[in-house]
Homo-oligomer: A and B are copies of this chain.
Amino acid sequence: MFSQTTEYALRAMACLALAPDQLVPTNVLASMTKVPNNYLAKVLQQLAGARLINGRRGVGGGYRLARPSAQINLLDIINAVDMLKRIETCPLGLTTHGTNLCPLHRTMDRAAAVLIEVVRGVTLHDLVEDGGNRVRPLCETKTPVPLTLTLNKTPKRIGA
């Protein structure tokens, strides 16, 4: 249903949401998310390209959310690395179908609709500020990510 890349992107974004306003180094993100460094680097580039995160190179550099976690929903993240969308026209290009989908593609479109409804209705903020939940994403305990990073004086901006 969700690709490996989507799973990794969601983990990385949840990790960044746990440390708001901090630049989190890629190697820390890789460790927290349990994603191979090279794979994660590509995922982060896609997220930066979609303007969901900002990055800075150099000592003290890393990535952080481009906007508050309450303004990023899971559909935003999924669509940054994959494509979750409704079926609007016949995927086979049948002329008599067009936008009047057959029962097969109407069912697939209905499945897409319910899936979109679920992931669009949950923000990153919802994930990390779920007070009633005993566990937090990526953490063994309820303790927030123990990051006390300071910015390098002259970091270079990376990503989009």
Contacts and interface: CB of A to CB of B under 8 A. Distances in A.
A153 interface: no
Interface stretch (A7-15, A19-27, A39-47, A59-67): A7-15
| Size bin of chain A's contact surface | 35 or more
Nearest to A105: B137
Instruction: Count identical subunits in the complex.
Output: 2
A135 B1 contact: no
Contacts of A104: 10-11, 14, 127, 137-138
Interface core residue of A84, A101, A103, A126 (most chain B CB under 10 Å): A103
A92 B138 CA distance: 8
A147 interface: no
A130 to B, nearest CB: 4
Nearest to A6: B108
B111 A34 contact: no
A149 interface: no
B140 A126 contact: no
Interface core residue of A34, A130, A137, A141 (most chain B CB under 10 Å): A137
7 contacts: A74-B107, A94-B135, A95-B140, A102-B137, A103-B126, A110-B118, A111-B119
Interface of A: 1-2, 7, 10-11, 14, 33-34, 74, 84, 91-97, 100-108, 110-112, 114-115, 117-119, 122, 126-128, 130, 133-141
